[in-house]
Structure 1
Amino acid sequence: MKNSYIYLIAAVASIAIASCGNKQEKQAPPPPTAVDVTEATQGNAVYYDQYQGTVVAVNSVELRSQVAGFITAIFVKDGALVSKGQPLYEIDRRKYQAAYAQAVANVNSAQANLVKAQKDIDRYNMLLKADAVARQTVDNAAAAFETAKSQVAAAKAARESAATDLSYAVIKAPFSGRIGISQVKLGTQITPGTTLLNTISADNPMAVDVVINEQDINRFYDLQKHNTDSTFRLKLSNDSLYNRPGRILAIDRGVNNQTGTVKVRVQFDNTDGMLKDGMSAQLKVLNNNSGQRVIIPYKAVTEQMGEFFVFVTQDTIALQKKVKLGPRLNDNVVIMDGIKAGDKVITDGFQRLRDSGKITLGPPPAAAGKSRHNQANK
């Protein structure tokens, strides 16, 4: 019986020793993590903010008639280039020619009456000196003379109005540009100020309209004062870059109180005619933070709850650093704050790291195993 107790105590002791051994094995520190590193460099980071825009003609106008009538002539082809003052459309002129002719006749009649009244007043004044006519007769003649002068003035004004209506019967190009597709045909009845005849726009210069947030207003006012050839770039819908610089032509007078946005118009030279009214384009605006910046591979960055971190090496330790990101530059990213040029940034293997974890330089285990497998296959 006594021997049984001795055997039982020995067994319990063996179990206890084995348990302590397992506990010590579990508490042993993990081996260093194999990582790849690269050096954070400082380079010229030139990048642009992008705004969706629409190409618009700086000079553009809808052609509408100021007089009523029927279209009797169309002098230009759709889409043609026109010169300032060139006739484009004609409205039936007969009524306006007749009105002008009548106005001219009225002027002639009024002027004849004025001549007669002038002679009457001159004759009565001579008779008055000889006391051969009554003062009232002279006064009546003077009043008739003033009335005749007023009638001449009124007739001339009516003649100018008739001449203006007659000139409006021929619609002319207000400036040189390109005319669109006609909205009317021969014989169409025109309502003054309502019927759209066509649209004409100048091909050069052109502009791009974009909408910005009200927080950016001061930035664009500053760009309007200090504009350089590299400030604005234009990316067309076919992803090609327009090779001419732009400048701010206008910033809208106020903020849209419903959207909190402001319209900005940037002008571009269009000598070669590449830009067309209504095209969609992307306006690229030079970012104020462009310049010499710290640049690292984007794959070195991790995100945790909306914040960004990288691991940098310090001897055999990996330290986690919170960073502020700038824009991406292909496979790299600009670092605005958090690390400096020359820091050793971990690019592979950090997925298994914790802050202040031990590391060893070299490919991560998965990569190393793959490399050994490839060598074995060879």
Structure 2
Amino acid sequence: MKKQSWVFLVGLLGFVALAAFASRSYWMGGNAAAQAPQRPRAVSVTLATAERRQVPVDVDANGIVTPISSVALKSRLETTIVAVHFEDGAKVNEGDLLFTLDSRQIDAQIEQAEGTLAKDQAQLEGALRDLRRYTDLVAKGATTQVNLDNAKTQSDTLTAAIKADQAVIENLKVQKSYTQIRAPFSGRISVANVKVGNFVRPADVQPLAVINQMAPVYVTFSVPQRVLVDLREAMAKSGSRVIATIPGRQSSEEGKVAMVENAVDAATGMITVRGIMDNGNETLWPGTLVSTKLIIRTEESVVVPTIAVQRSQSGNFVFVVKDGIAKVQPVTIDRTFQGHSVISEGLSGDESVVTDGQLLLSDGARVEPRGKKAGA
């Protein structure tokens, strides 16, 4: 019985040792497989192409719309308003009748002056008859030279009086023309500050109404003095443009540079520029604040989406992808334009740059364009 127990114990120990050996071999094989080098997993990224194209050189600024012509209508006479011929805020054309003033007093003065003229003309006719008669008598020796000279003086005096009478009438007619106030140019008129029956005079501070020219209009803004040389060259070639946009609206107007101020503001280093816009649809209203873009010229440049540009302590860079490998490429940014950055140094065009997924990248990392299964 003891011998059988011993045999059973030896067999059991051998089975346990065999199982332990197999278990050790299994776990060692698993660790070896886990520690074997694996191929790095590719990073999924979005790519864009660096393009070489014509890009405008522009300057953004805030501007204000100002009318080319603006006139405050005032009376030149002391009289009353008898008629208003427009609606408040209406569009008026050049020559339209706007106000009619009382002209009865001037009409009476014109009639009086015309009567004086008729009297002097009649007297002149008599003086001329006397002059002719005395001329004949002097030739016959029937009268003295003094009488002839006096007749000639009288005719000359009346001739001068007639000229004065005619001048008085012309002046009164001019005064009467002031009783009809017309639009000096086309535009939009303000509210009428006076109505029918109001007494007006030249000394009044408040105008009868104000007319602003609406088309074309000026847009006035300021730009840094560093662009002055390029701007003047562009103006000489008629290559500069101005785009004015109302903030929050898609509507805009395009025009050209009409004037550059003759001096730079020494306090700010800015210079005033004025653009002229056709504004045929009256998109721009006098006094409106607008966003302006001064386009000086266009030039060929390399551009990439601005989101592709990364920043570090050493400067700006982009990830350039070639043969599935991302490389860090330092770049120099000249300016930005409509969501793109203009590259002056670092890229030549046609390179593939990463626009999304840069946070997982490092120099030399494998990448997979998004749309394919990464690591496939």
- The TM-score normalised by the length of structure 2 is 0.71
1:157-204 CA distances to partner (integer Å, 9 max, x unpaired)?
Answer: 111111111110121122333322112233333231644111223443
**Is 1:279–2:251 an aligned residue pair?**
no
**Are 2:326 and 2:361, in contact at CA under 8 Å, matched by a contact in 1?**
no
Secondary structure of 1:105's counterpart equals helix
Report matched runs for 1:226-265 at 5 Å.
Answer: 226-227=237-238, 231-242=241-252, 245-252=254-261, 254-255=263-264, 260-265=270-275
- The residue number in structure 2 matching 1:196 is 207
Partners of 2:122 and 2:266 lie apart in 1 by 64
- The residue number in structure 1 matching 2:60 is 50
Sequence identity of aligned pairs in percent? 24
1:244-275 CA distances to partner (integer Å, 9 max, x unpaired)?
Answer: 642334444555566542231322241x3433
In structure 2, the CA distance between the partners of 1:197 and 1:188, relative to structure 1 (3 Å rule), is same
Tell me by how many angstroms 1:336 deviates.
2.0
In structure 2, the CA distance between the partners of 1:291 and 1:189, relative to structure 1 (3 Å rule), is farther
**Are 2:80 and 2:101, in contact at CA under 8 Å, matched by a contact in 1?**
yes
Partners of 1:87 and 1:226 lie apart in 2 by 43
- The residue number in structure 2 matching 1:338 is 346
**Are 2:333 and 2:341, in contact at CA under 8 Å, matched by a contact in 1?**
no
Partners of 2:308 and 2:247 lie apart in 1 by 30
Q: How many residues align?
A: 325
More off after superposition, 108-117 vs 313-322? 313-322
**Is 1:131–2:141 an aligned residue pair?**
yes
**Is 1:301–2:310 an aligned residue pair?**
yes
Tell me by how many angstroms 1:320 deviates.
6.2
- The residue number in structure 1 matching 2:217 is 206
Tell me by how many angstroms 1:67 deviates.
1.8
Secondary structure of 1:211's counterpart equals strand
Report matched runs for 1:1-378 at 5 Å.
Answer: 41-44=50-53, 46-47=55-56, 48-192=58-202, 194-227=205-238, 231-242=241-252, 245-252=254-261, 254-255=263-264, 260-270=270-280, 272-302=281-311, 304=313, 308-310=316-318, 321=330, 323-330=332-339, 332-342=340-350, 359-362=364-367
Partners of 2:232 and 2:351 lie apart in 1 by 38
What is the RMSD computed on CA atoms of the aligned residues? 3.7
Secondary structure of 2:81's counterpart equals strand
Partners of 1:153 and 1:321 lie apart in 2 by 89
Partners of 1:127 and 1:138 lie apart in 2 by 9
More off after superposition, 80-89 vs 165-174? 80-89
Tell me by how many angstroms 1:312 deviates.
5.9
Structure 2 stretches lacking a partner, 5+ long: 1-39, 369-373
Partners of 2:266 and 2:49 lie apart in 1 by 45
Partner AA of 1:294 in structure 2: V
1:285-337 CA distances to partner (integer Å, 9 max, x unpaired)?
Answer: 335354342325434331649x645566899896663513321432x422122
Partners of 1:118 and 1:258 lie apart in 2 by 76
In structure 2, the CA distance between the partners of 1:192 and 1:217, relative to structure 1 (3 Å rule), is farther
Secondary structure of 1:240's counterpart equals coil
Secondary structure of 1:275's counterpart equals coil
In structure 2, the CA distance between the partners of 1:256 and 1:154, relative to structure 1 (3 Å rule), is farther
More off after superposition, 215-224 vs 274-283? 215-224
**Are 2:63 and 2:219, in contact at CA under 8 Å, matched by a contact in 1?**
yes
Tell me by how many angstroms 1:277 deviates.
2.9
1:56-110 CA distances to partner (integer Å, 9 max, x unpaired)?
Answer: 3334322122222222321221122333322211222222222222222222223
In structure 2, the CA distance between the partners of 1:344 and 1:274, relative to structure 1 (3 Å rule), is closer
Partners of 2:282 and 2:306 lie apart in 1 by 41
In structure 2, the CA distance between the partners of 1:156 and 1:318, relative to structure 1 (3 Å rule), is same
Partner AA of 1:335 in structure 2: I
Partners of 2:153 and 2:265 lie apart in 1 by 62
- The residue number in structure 2 matching 1:12 is none
- The TM-score normalised by the length of structure 1 is 0.71
Secondary structure of 1:157's counterpart equals helix
**Are 2:302 and 2:347, in contact at CA under 8 Å, matched by a contact in 1?**
no
1:133-171 CA distances to partner (integer Å, 9 max, x unpaired)?
Answer: 222222222222222221111111111111111110121
